[in-house]
Amino acid sequence: MGLPVDRQIIHLNTSHLSDIETLLQNCELPFEDCNEHLDCFFGVAGGDKLRAIGALQTLGSVALLRSIAVLPEDRGKGLAGIITQYLLDLAQSKGIVELYLLTETAENYFTRFGFRIVDRDTVADEIKSTRQYTSLCPSSAQAMRLPL
The pLDDT of residue 21 is: 96
Structural domains of the chain sorted by starting position, each given as residue range(s) with its CATH number in brackets: 5-147 (3.40.630.30)
The pLDDT of residue 1 is: 43
| pTM, to two decimals | 0.92
Compute CA distances 112 → 14, 48, 109, 119, 133, whole Å: 32, 31, 6, 19, 23
Are 4 and 42 contacting, i.e. CB atoms less than 8 angstroms apart? no
Instruction: Give, as one character, the DSSP assignment of residue 110.
Output: H
The pLDDT of residue 4 is: 54
For residue 63, what are the β-bridge partners?
A: 58, 99
Q: Can you list the alpha helix ranges (DSSP code H) found in the chain?
A: 17-26, 79-93, 107-111, 125-128, 131
94 phi/psi in degrees, rounded to 5: -90, 0
Cα 62 from Cα 39, distance rounded (Å): 17
Within 10 A of 47 (CB to CB), how many other CB atoms are there? 7
- pLDDT, one tens digit per residue, over 11-43 is 999 999 999 999 999 999 999 999 999 999 999
The pLDDT of residue 139 is: 86
